[in-house]
Amino acid sequence: MTLRAAAVVALVLAAGCACPGPAPVETPLPPPPADVVESWGRQRDFFLEGGFEILSWEDAKALLLERTYTGGKQYHTGWLTIYTCDGRRVVTKQPEIDAFERFMRERSLPTTGFGTE
């Protein structure tokens, strides 16, 4: 088991996340647009190698409202990663820094497992 896989398992166990249904079948993601990759800054290789799915901020908020997340990280570039209990790894661009924190606070959603750069 890789260190990343062990960390995801630990996050899932800590969050007590119970995902409905079977895990999704992994399909290759299309390559992201070059301008998006450039905006990732120092996280470029991490996002590319990690196979992160790019979501719009609106879709990411809908995902967070499902409460099936185990954590993630907010970066200085404005990008936010979200890990779900079924193994999805998504990345989204916040409309402004700390939009995630406000969104979660306004809806009383737990932020356990999330960190900042």
- For the entire predicted model, the pTM comes to 0.72
Residue 27 lies in a domain: no
Give me the number of domains the chain comprises: 1
Residue 56 lies in a domain: yes
Give the pLDDT confidence score for residue 12 in this predicted structure: 47
**Averaged pLDDT in 10-residue chunks for the chain of 117 residues:** 50 51 58 79 83 93 96 93 95 94 96 92
Residue 93 lies in a domain: yes
Q: Domain range spanning residue 103?
A: 3-18+32-116
What CATH number does the domain containing 11 carry? 3.30.720.210
Burial 65-98 (b: 16+ CB within 10 A, else e): eeebbbbbbbbebbbbbbbbbeebbbbbbbeeee
